[in-house]
Homo-oligomer: A and B are copies of this chain.
Amino acid sequence: MKPKVSFKEAKSCPLQFVLAVNDTLNVISGKWKMPIIGSLLFDKRRFTEIQRNIPKITPRMLSKELKELELNGVVKRTVYDTLPVSVEYELTPSAKSLNHVLDTMVEWGIRHREAVVGRQKR
């Protein structure tokens, strides 16, 4: 559901906005969440595949973050009855729609960097 008022139109910052922004922030902030989501954004992957994808992450961190992402409805975990067991992680449909958010963040990040550098040159 679309919020009734955007930040631009609103005259003050309603609590529900802050809460919704925080929900989104909780999903993507921290040292490893973006790399993990990035790794899953284009394909489902297994534990060790993600680990190989993100060279410096420890299994403890990967495990911890994946659990948190699963709890938050961002990642779906599927265990296959193979020998040895294989476990697949994939983004939920809701998480896939994160790319809209990420796109605006990329755009703002690039623009903002240009604006800041521009001011320093002048």
Residues of A near any B CB (own CB < 8 A): 1-3, 6-8, 10-13, 17-25, 27-29, 34-35, 38-39, 41-42, 72-73, 92-95, 97-116, 119
Task: Find out whether the CB atom of B21 lies under 8 angstroms from the CB atom of A106.
Answer: yes
Task: Find out whether the CB atom of B103 lies under 8 angstroms from the CB atom of A97.
Answer: no
Residues of B within 8 A of A93 (CB): 115
Task: Find out whether the CB atom of A100 lies under 8 angstroms from the CB atom of B108.
Answer: yes
Of chain B, the residue at the smallest CB distance from A11 is: B42
Of chain B, the residue at the smallest CB distance from A10 is: B42
Task: Find out whether the CB atom of A105 lies under 8 angstroms from the CB atom of B25.
Answer: yes
Task: Find out whether the CB atom of A115 lies under 8 angstroms from the CB atom of B101.
Answer: no
Task: Find out whether the CB atom of B109 lies under 8 angstroms from the CB atom of A20.
Answer: yes
